[in-house]
Amino acid sequence: MPELGFLIDIDGVIYRGDEAIPEAISFLEMIQDYPYLFLTNNSSITPEAVLDQLDKLGIRHCGIENILTSAMATAGYLHRVTPGFTYYAVGGPGLHAALAEYGTADENAPDYVVVGEGEGLDYHAVTMGITMLLHGRSKLIGTNPDVNLDGTYNGRPAVLPGCGALIAPFQVGSGMKPLFVGKPSQVMYEQGLKALGRKPGEVFMIGDRPETDIKGAAQSGIRTILVTTGRFRRGDPYPAHTPRPDLIINSLAELDIAQLKAMVHT
């Protein structure tokens, strides 16, 4: 069997809000014989919560090993560069759980102030974080640069603030430039490739955001497929200074394994 693997964004590719994109289930069935990994920049959710959401939508082809959130990627990166690191986290349960797996929470002088999505941002958190950054040795880390993401709030569809927006008070207040780990950072793609056990040219990244999904994958040597079921739509202006995808499709139903194998060998 030819070497082939998939990195797949979730929101806008597999589901939109609380509804599965119809073609997603059949696509996942088609690639069951190949390694694949869901990559999401949403750091507020745990991988267990992702699985629960997929299960509710009738998508039951995956396990924890098929999920990599930007929180998980951030924790893995910090563990690699600073084994036994300490941190002060501002974000949702997914971020706290991921960091706790490798590091130790510290509200005095942590190695890192780590910001992600979620409802943990308030005056206290900003004050604590800025103080640590200016009076200590802490470095500022963001799980991802997305300024917003689609979701629900109080049971209604909403556009939620992303890490790129929520980290702004810490960045402005301290004057420090954050390091972002999630897409489009190559750090997250390197972790994805390692999990798949594939070389960049053997892997396809399927996403709906050119400036994150496509840009980061292309810069990592990964083949790219932009699907128009999410943020990017046919007719939208393509972002400047962003690599063009190998394919632009209207639906996952347009893909077939033979076509993708042929692309890998060209």
Q: What pLDDT shows up at residue 150?
A: 85
Q: What pLDDT shows up at residue 88?
A: 98
Is it true that 5-41+183-264 and 81-180 share their CATH fold? Answer: yes
pTM, 2 dp: 0.94
Domain borders along the chain are: 5-41+183-264, 81-180
Cα–Cα distance list, 121 to 116, 128, 163 (Å): 9, 11, 11
On the CB side of 24, CA atoms within 13 Å amount to: 27
Q: What pLDDT shows up at residue 6?
A: 98
Residue in this structure with the two tokens 């949403």, named with its chain if needed: 42
| CA gap 177, 193 in Å, rounded | 27
Rg (CA), the chain: 18
Q: What pLDDT shows up at residue 93?
A: 97
Reply yes or no on domain 81-180 having CATH 3.40.50.1000: yes
CATH fold for the domain made of 5-41+183-264: Rossmann fold (3.40.50)
Q: What pLDDT shows up at residue 2?
A: 58
On the CB side of 111, CA atoms within 13 Å amount to: 13
Note down pLDDT in tens along the chain; length 266 residues: 558 999 999 999 998 877 889 889 999 999 999 999 999 999 999 999 999 999 998 888 799 999 999 999 999 999 999 999 999 999 999 999 999 999 999 999 999 999 999 988 999 999 999 999 999 999 999 999 999 988 888 888 889 999 999 999 999 999 999 999 999 999 999 999 999 999 999 999 999 999 999 999 999 999 999 999 988 888 889 999 999 999 999 999 999 899 898 888 77
| CA gap 247, 107 in Å, rounded | 47
Residue in this structure with the two tokens 């893909």, named with its chain if needed: 255
What residues contact residue 142 under an 8 Å CB cut-off, 6+ apart?
114, 115, 116, 163, 164, 167, 178, 179, 180, 181, 182
Among residues 204, 209, 191, the alpha carbon closest in space to that of 247 is found at: 204
Cβ proximity of 92 and 44 under 8 Å: yes
